[in-house]
Structure 1
């Protein structure tokens, strides 16, 4: 991922820092932050302190119409999204984003689950806008020692090189100190995962396998004389590795090095741009890896305009799609530029998000960003467009984005640097007809973006209790109830009494209304408590007891 790199790469940048993440090291950033959520299980946290910026960043906007604020959870300020389309036929599940901004952040950065109405379901804020999450989604964790599988939340956490605060690496590269998180359904930390060979865990990809392993991307600057490519003599190339580690032990099981197999001379990113990125040339920009049915790897190189099929045993490239040495020709609307999120699909199909812009070389026509599914004819070595997914109004995303296949045949599109996420019926649409088959559309506020966006089914049962707050209202009171991350709560019960040992039910059932429910009661209290109820009226858990201040 490269965020705003075209606009900002020419700004002055400082040299690459000396901090290097090595296998098995303990980072200073692994110390839990005092600003962590009050409900956070902080044992084993990492990347809670941002990589030191070269200049200050604007403070986030934490109030106003585009930011959520809650009485019962005063420390949570997730961004608000505007849902513009919500039609029948969407797939089941909630929406998973990790908002951040290269400018002023609206709300807090972090990992956010929204429902179809745009209301928060779970939010885990980060203590600094210089920390980001990415690739936030639901996966299945296979515990090979206990022989069990369970749904989990996963994401990358760390600092992205976002100018002007970070000018030591190409924009969008991961700074040293990041890691991957795995959380269980109770929102407890199961695992943190690091990279090996001195590489930095990369935000672009983190995939759990049914072998109890994690497959991910990692990157680091490798010193290199770039003069033969048109860059500086004392430069470096931002190299990438595909790595697979055993989750039980952290042991590295497999690695594939981009520089060993791909010629950087084929890059569409001029090496001369290294002079404005700390001397580091982002020739490859590897941004996705997917595992095929035969174990082969599908690896996307954004800055090569190419996708490679890699034999896992030998590491050899079996075929190349796109770029300067493509093994395939392209039918109408099948070519792509600066692509993201290449995935195997059934048959001989692959999908991707085609950014399609910006700053293309002379002669390359700029095209609208869109989801793209291609059929690969291996006999005739030709790629044809099977389905496309465009937006209305048209979007031009310089970076980021993803195309997710949903269980009901729909496609979910995260528009990357364009602040939208959308869902389409599987048939898709064509350029100029972006509203056709659109089932769902939402817009992020301000300059907020999310690297990817997903729709996933998730059941969250927090290990911590619900939250409650109470305010006086006339002769009565208003009780505010929430339970960050609970997907089973359907209603609230309110208890009150003259002291903490003599509470009785004063509101038997108040239907849940969004993240926080305000319940009016005539009881003076002054002691109050709430109970979360499921769909059958069963008590899930009670909050602590609070006292109304007189």
Structure 2
């Protein structure tokens, strides 16, 4: 993990960058690291640059708290032409055995919510679910209408005998919910249990014995809004993606699963999938986990990013492009496939501790390094539900931080500004009193999250000032004293 002198409370994980070639899209990388085992560093929301250095980190107070779906979005407050970039994420606790066994593994515990933060890292909005459902970590998307589209879940009592379970059982149900951000009012909802048949689940009802009798038959894990007033909904445990009429709630078509309306070309089948998205034309994308534990079905396949062509006349799905990793990865859960503005694809490998970027053409199984432009590995058993590359300009409302230390060769002044994307260099001031400081280092180039600047100035008082690319002072730190 990283440790900083000027920010001793921050201990983000340190990733290992294994590939970094030209041609990547602009922007930084957004992850929300956590672990079901031994966490390396702190959980929280983390922005890294291409070198793997932190840009911004917001740690959480406990490893029992997690963030998820951390990314940049545009917030429209009722004015279409006045959208502002914001950071959004889910925060709460996940049912992660052995700590929590009251719900299926990965389900959200009560008490979670969604956050919107502005470019100065100030809280703008907190969003909650309706109908007694728990805000779900799987999805939180802002629309141009000033609304938020998300998933919410809760256990619902249900007689599971028709499916081979107990009479007094329960099912983990999910709702798609859309709320107005200005008022918090629920505008639309779609309930999985009203439209899907639990008998079609690929998750055996016997699995409920390890989660207090709650069966995760559906595991709805993404919703995307597309043209013509439709939603694209992914149900991991049904191995299916559904096109749904937003107005009526009716399922217009099903891709995959036991009642698929589509047949499949070679290598187009998917299993335990995540992050289904509309793509231009008659295409959709997803992260095909492809593994593991395929009951009475095909052999497991490597996890990969997948883009499908959909022929609605012939009702046939064929592979458009695939994105595999080298070494091969097998992710039982989580993951995403993000379309980047330059045509590249960014893959978060979910339960496998990697994130990668590929040129548009992609690759095929057995050629996982082909067209791979960027690759990084998380430490230990750390994972991130999704990973994104987003352009972001952050100007913190709080000042930079400074610290001073002495060694046998003089003084070292440490400077950092958590979240500043415009700082390019540092100026160091020193003096015998807090109110009598002068510049002793005119310009020291920024070198990662924290910059160490050596000076012969005895101090014992020091201050740093952040400089932009033109050398303009952005903001000064508080004055600090050299420890005695």
TM-score, length basis structure 2 = 0.99
Aligned to 1:470: 404
1:175-217 CA-to-partner distances (Å, cap 9, x unmatched) read 0000000000000000000000000000000000000000000
What are the residue-to-residue correspondences of 1:289-308 with 2, within 5 Å?
289-308=223-242
Q: Quick one: which of 345, 355, 363 aligns to 1:429? A: 363
Aligned to 1:461: 395
User: Which blocks of at least 5 consecutive residues in structure 2 are unaligned?
Assistant: none
CA distance in 1, matches of 2:232, 2:297: 28
CA distance in 2, matches of 1:475, 1:353: 53
SS of equivalent to 1:452: strand
Whether the aligned pair in 1 keeps the contact of 2:80 and 2:145 (CA below 8 Å) is no
CA distance in 2, matches of 1:437, 1:475: 48
Deviation at 1:549, TM superposition (A): 2.3
- In the alignment, structure 1 residue 507 sits paired with structure 2 residue 404: no
Aligned to 2:12: 78
1:224-246 CA-to-partner distances (Å, cap 9, x unmatched) read 11011011211100000000000
Whether the aligned pair in 2 keeps the contact of 1:83 and 1:117 (CA below 8 Å) is yes
Deviation at 1:428, TM superposition (A): 0.2
- In the alignment, structure 1 residue 357 sits paired with structure 2 residue 257: no
Aligned to 1:16: none
Q: Quick one: which of 277, 295, 299 aligns to 2:211? A: 277
Whether the aligned pair in 2 keeps the contact of 1:231 and 1:273 (CA below 8 Å) is no
CA distance in 2, matches of 1:295, 1:470: 58
Q: Quick one: which of 216, 230, 236 aligns to 2:170? A: 236
CA distance in 1, matches of 2:407, 2:210: 59
What are the residue-to-residue correspondences of 1:88-237 with 2, within 5 Å?
88-144=22-78, 148-237=82-171
Deviation at 1:475, TM superposition (A): 5.7
CA distance in 1, matches of 2:483, 2:2: 25
Deviation at 1:370, TM superposition (A): 0.1
Aligned to 2:317: 383
Deviation at 1:473, TM superposition (A): 2.3
CA distance in 2, matches of 1:125, 1:171: 23
Aligned to 2:470: 536
Whether the aligned pair in 2 keeps the contact of 1:232 and 1:274 (CA below 8 Å) is no
CA distance in 1, matches of 2:29, 2:207: 36
Give the aligned length: 484
Whether the aligned pair in 2 keeps the contact of 1:489 and 1:533 (CA below 8 Å) is yes
CA distance in 1, matches of 2:264, 2:483: 70
Deviation at 1:472, TM superposition (A): 1.0
Deviation at 1:146, TM superposition (A): 10
Aligned to 1:340: 274
Deviation at 1:148, TM superposition (A): 2.5
- In the alignment, structure 1 residue 261 sits paired with structure 2 residue 182: no
CA distance in 2, matches of 1:549, 1:197: 55
CA distance in 1, matches of 2:264, 2:328: 23
SS of equivalent to 2:46: strand
CA distance in 2, matches of 1:240, 1:284: 8
SS of equivalent to 1:451: strand
Deviation at 1:392, TM superposition (A): 0.3
CA distance in 2, matches of 1:474, 1:363: 67
CA distance in 2, matches of 1:417, 1:147: 38
1:468-526 CA-to-partner distances (Å, cap 9, x unmatched) read 00001236210000000000000000000110111100000000000000000000001
SS of equivalent to 1:397: coil
Deviation at 1:145, TM superposition (A): 6.9
CA distance in 1, matches of 2:193, 2:430: 66
Deviation at 1:149, TM superposition (A): 1.2
Aligned to 1:39: none
Q: Quick one: which of 508, 527, 536 aligns to 2:461? A: 527
CA distance in 1, matches of 2:412, 2:68: 37
Whether the aligned pair in 2 keeps the contact of 1:493 and 1:533 (CA below 8 Å) is yes
User: Which blocks of at least 5 consecutive residues in structure 1 are unaligned?
Assistant: 1-66
Deviation at 1:308, TM superposition (A): 0.3
CA distance in 2, matches of 1:475, 1:344: 60
CA distance in 1, matches of 2:320, 2:241: 17
1:341-392 CA-to-partner distances (Å, cap 9, x unmatched) read 0000000000000000001022412100000000000111100001000000
Whether the aligned pair in 2 keeps the contact of 1:329 and 1:381 (CA below 8 Å) is yes
Whether the aligned pair in 2 keeps the contact of 1:232 and 1:275 (CA below 8 Å) is no
